[in-house]
Amino acid sequence: MTHVRNSRVFSWLSGILVTVLMVTGCGGKKKEKRETPSRKSHERVDSRPVPMHQPVPLWEDGRPRGKIDAAKADTEGYIVVDLGEEWTPYIFSSPPGAEPAAYRKTYLALAQGRFPDNHHGDRARKDEYLELYGIMPTLNLLHKRFVAMSKRQCINALDLEALRRFDGFIAYRQDRANKNVQRSFAALERRVGEIVRAAGAGTLEALNLETLSDVDRGHVAAYVKQAPKVEAIRATQARLQCEGYFEGLGRYLDGVLDWRTHEAIAKFERRHRAYGWGYIGKDTLEKLRTPSLELERQAVVRVLTERALHAAGVLEDGSTVMRHDGTRRTFRGADGKPHALRNLEAEIRDHIKRAFALDTPESTLAFFSRLGNIPTEKLVAVKGITLPEYYSKDMDFYAEIDRGDIWYDFPFDNQGLERPQPRHFRPSLTLYVKYNGQNIPLARYGTTVGGWRSDFENGHVMWRFKDSPVGPRVWQKIVAAPVWLPPESTPHKDLLQRSPKKGVKWEVDYDDMGPSYASAYGLVAAYHYKYQKRSDGSLTVGGDEGIRTHGSVDYMSVARRHSHGCHRLQNHLAVRLMSFILAHRAHTRIGQRRVALERDLEYDGEIYKLELREGGFEFQLNKPVYVNVTEGRIRGKAKKPIAHAIPKFDADAGVYVTPDGGAVQVSPTGKLTDIPFPIQDEGALDPNQEMLPQPYGPAPASSTPGPLPPPAASAPAHTPP
């Protein structure tokens, strides 16, 4: 390709030279009268444009309008976005001559809506919609979904008014209770209908309550109180039925949030990136109120904006724009003046919407029609943004992880009941850039820190506090599609999962080990290392404590729960953050790591063979990123982590039972006091489950999420060397 381009340039220049020679008469022998014309009269200006190294179409107002040179796009105020089917974030990219991550092939298949014939496909087929898990759908897949939804005639008849009126929260309850609720409300609904008809009112609103008996007024009052909730559930079920989310789930119970409705809502949430547990409330309720095709349009805008963010190499999403006191945050520029921080994600989203005319579902479908079937690579240009002056090819990053409110106290009392441990501030991670003597916060994300977790010790399940070590660390190694290698002490059952295959009860849980979007470390992990600074200013990096900043498939855990000490991020944010750091920090592609782990897992009378051969894809930063983990705000009586394990509460015995069969009481500071076994109480509660919910489980009252701590108004508490 280079040879062809150079040949064309040579022919072009030769033509100009011949023309110049003919005009000046350099080849003739006849001597003519000499003149001394101005230099300008001898110059020839070629009107043809300079050949482009890589011409790409420039999109404006929903259609291509001319071309620009992709090689000069960033210097001329444009962003080149790849709309192709083989786009991936940088961590899974395939530069010319470089080895890509082995997981790239799986990432692309899942992004395109294809399910491989292996455990990756089995898991993805169950989840179906993967955007919440960090796998961004391709444009061809979005187009296919958009068209399919537009062909569902029932969406035009959906009545969403009951959802717009409803402003509460509805959680899933066991189906036995739901059936009782359904029967009770059905009887109440019939009775109120009879009351309205008997009064000749026509509608409930027209009913004169003064003419009713006390009993009938009670029936009407009960109905008025319960009806908004039931109507919201019915409107939700009608929508989910129309849009196909009940397919494969069977019949649901009308007007109650039963298991099938709960599962259908969870699928709806995954498709439209709504953060919830499969309930009706908050983000999910907002999506349920939105017309079907509008949600499809929003998905297209989200995906294109994400690709443009990666292409432009920006991170600012507005999360650090405002100070805690409500004033706008600024930085001091090279001119000595204050400049407001910006929401670059919002700016790019606006440019994307204008360039491709994505303002309405109709205009978005028209955009797809102009694109046609999208190939593996399709580069286009859109109007870009002016980057802040603190941007450069090698930015001096610094990360701070604020642990928020920390409770070291043991979280259960001596009746096995959960002790209240309110957290006003949740943990957060803020990425700064050091510029002009300042630490400028670029983005702030909710994250997790360690807490009380179940731990397997000497054959017994115990409680143990899993701490997140405080103090300075560095990120030097970033691993795409990381793999968790389970220690020998891991119970074999914990490494197995139910098999979707007929006739097979269990299989090895490779999803949790990875590489997988569902792995323990998600799609990407940055390793925390201790370091020492030598006299010449260089660093000796070492001391891996097993702590990572990593993505997580359990996206709701970031808002509610503890980790085993690591700092979790939602998968798509972890991918965005680490790709951004690699885009602005010199690094080496170490490449694909190989592992050799074999283990026989014995459970339920069967042997299952665990074999891991593939590790993650490693990048190494030439200059590490300093990370400081703050102590946070220590709450409660215990002022440091409780080092010893604490037994689980035995509901049958009504006491904490030690591994040797003794009984103890546990103080908030973890002190164990031997006591005799009490008389058993059949009504004792059983807290021998994880104290915090699974992704779609109810949130305990004491875990109500508070705000993230604000980033420091000036320099962080710890300034790295």
Write the pLDDT tens digit of every residue in 511-567. 999 999 999 999 999 999 999 988 888 888 988 999 999 999 998 888 888 999 999
Beta bridge partners of 462: 455, 647
Residues 6+ apart with CB under 8 A from 368: 139, 143, 146
Asked whether residue 57 carries a pLDDT value surpassing 90, the answer given is yes
Structure tokens at 334: 């090279």
Q: Which amino acid is at 278?
A: G
Report yes or no: 229 and 168 within 8 Å, Cβ to Cβ: yes
What's residue 489's pLDDT?
Answer: 82
The secondary element (H helix, E strand) that includes residue 612 is: strand 606-629
Q: Which of helix, strand or coil describes residue 293?
A: helix
CA distances, 21 to each of 7, 28, 39, 565 (Å): 21, 10, 15, 77
What is the per-residue pLDDT across 432-447, written as a single tens digit (0 to 9) for each?
999 999 999 999 999 9
Give kind and range of the element (H or E) at residue 5. helix 2-24
Top mean pLDDT of 46-50, 94-98, 330-334 is at: 330-334
Alpha carbon separation from 654 to 411, 417, 675 (Å, rounded):
17, 11, 12
DSSP 154-206: GGGG---HHHHH--S-B----HHHHHHHHHHHHHHHHHHHHHHHHHT-SSSTT
Q: At what angle do helices 214-243 and 259-271 cross, to 10 degrees?
A: 50
Q: Give the pLDDT confidence score for residue 233 in this predicted structure.
A: 97
Per-residue pLDDT, averaged over 619-641, amounts to 96
The torsion defined by the Cα of 718, 589, 583 and 525, in degrees rounded to 10, comes to -50
- Kindly give the interhelix angle for 292-312 and 361-371, rounded to the nearest 10 degrees: 60
Q: Residue 54 gets which letter from DSSP?
A: S
**Among 90, 93, 86, 104, which Cα is nearest to 140's?**
86
pLDDT recorded at residue 11: 43
Residue 694 · residue 684 · CB < 8 Å: no
Mean pLDDT, residues 122-151 taken together: 96
Number of CB atoms found within 10 A of residue 246's CB: 18
Predicted pLDDT of residue 4: 40
Beta strand 524-533 with 539-552 is antiparallel
Q: Provide the 3-class DSSP secondary structure of residue 596.
A: strand
- pLDDT class of 458 with cuts at 50, 70, 90: confident
pLDDT band for position 50 (cuts 50, 70, 90): low
Q: In angstroms, what CA-CA distances link 86 with 82, 139, 374, 421?
A: 9, 10, 10, 47
Mean pLDDT calculated for residue range 88-111: 94
Report the chain's mean pLDDT, rounded to a whole number: 88
Percent of the chain exceeding pLDDT 70 equals 87
Place 703 in a pLDDT band, splitting at 50, 70 and 90.
very low
Please report the pLDDT score of residue 96 as a whole number.
87
Position 328 pLDDT exceeds 80? yes
pLDDT value at residue 469: 96
- Asked if the model's pLDDT at residue 698 lies above 50, the reply is no
Contact 630, 481 (CB under 8 A): no
Residue-level pLDDT at 507? 94
- Place 503 in a pLDDT band, splitting at 50, 70 and 90: confident
Angle between helices 344-356 and 292-312 (to 10 degrees): 120
CA distance to 357, 477, 478, 581, per residue, from 619 (Å):
38, 6, 5, 11
pLDDT score of 51: 66
Instruction: Give the strand pairing for 587-603 and 379-383.
Output: unpaired
Is residue 662 classed exposed, middle or buried when 0-12, 13-18 and 19+ CB atoms within 10 A define those classes? middle
pLDDT at 215 over 60: yes
pLDDT recorded at residue 152: 97
Partners of residue 428 on adjacent β-strands: 402, 446
Lowest mean pLDDT among 20-29, 185-194, 281-290: 20-29
pLDDT of residue 708: 63
Q: Please tell me whether residue 135 adopts helix, strand or coil conformation.
A: coil
Q: How large is the average pLDDT for residues 318-324?
A: 95
Tokens representing 35?
């003149």
Predicted pLDDT at 59: 96
Enumerate the H helices of 526-586 as residue ranges.
557-560, 571-583
pLDDT at 324: 87
Q: Is-contact 433 692, C-beta < 8 A?
A: no
Helix axes 214-243, 175-199, angle to 10 degrees: 120
| pLDDT tens string 592-608 | 999 999 999 999 889 99
Distance separating alpha carbons of residues 547 and 561, to the nearest angstrom: 17
Contact by Cβ (8 Å): 439, 430: no
Average pLDDT over residues 605-612: 93
Tokens of 94: 């395939």
pLDDT for 646 equals 96
What pLDDT digit, counting tens, does each position of 217-267 carry? 999 999 999 999 999 999 999 999 999 999 999 999 999 999 999 999 999
So what's the pLDDT on residue 373? Answer: 87
- Answer yes or no: are the C-beta atoms of 429 and 456 closer than 8 Å: no
Q: Are 2 and 8 in contact (CB under 8 A)?
A: no
Question: What tokens appear for 549 in the block?
Answer: 């900043």
Report residue 3's pLDDT band, with 50, 70 and 90 as the boundaries: very low
For the cut 60, the answer to whether the pLDDT of residue 131 exceeds it is yes
Amino acid 37: pLDDT: 45
User: What pTM does this model have?
Assistant: 0.85
What does R_g of the chain's alpha carbons equal in angstroms? 31
